[in-house]
Amino acid sequence: MTWHRLRPHVHQFACYLGSGAAAVLLDFGSYFLLLRLGVWYVTGNIVSNALGFFGAFLCHKYLVFRSHGKMVDHFLRYCILTFFNLLVQTLLLVFLVESLSLDAGAAKIISFAVSVLGNFFLYRSFVYV
């Protein structure tokens, strides 16, 4: 792809990364807040993951892709993509660790980065259409 074809999407991609970072902050922030409030760590993890998941979905839907309506349809597609992501990330993680002998931490970062980059285009063409 040439720059003139990518350029119109740079701002949207930056918003995508920013909203993803906000969702991560919501996830981790709520987790540590719940721990501080005395909530059991397992319960805190479940609640904080759910908050991050829904926060990411809503930010992507309304702020990044500016998609209104079709809430249930978009949410179901988002769930399908999230499950698919988990599968691909895990397979890539296993490949990087077992076949390429990468450190598990580095492999996690690489598999996550590949997922983030690919998801932008999948959200645009599959989820928020």
Q: pLDDT tens digits for 69-106?
A: 899 999 999 999 989 988 998 899 999 999 999 988 88
56 and 75 housed in the same domain: no
Q: pLDDT tens digits for 5-31?
A: 777 778 899 999 999 999 999 999 999
CA distance 70 to 103: 42
Q: Which two tokens stand for residue 80?
A: 């399908």
CA distance 43 to 27: 13
Answer yes or no: pTM beyond 0.85.
no
31 and 89 housed in the same domain: no
Q: Is the pLDDT of residue 108 over 80?
A: yes
> What residue numbers bound the domain in which 17 lies?
1-66
50, 66, 82 - which closes a domain: 66
Task: Give how far Cα 67 sits from Cα of 26, 57, 75, 87, Å.
Answer: 22, 11, 12, 26
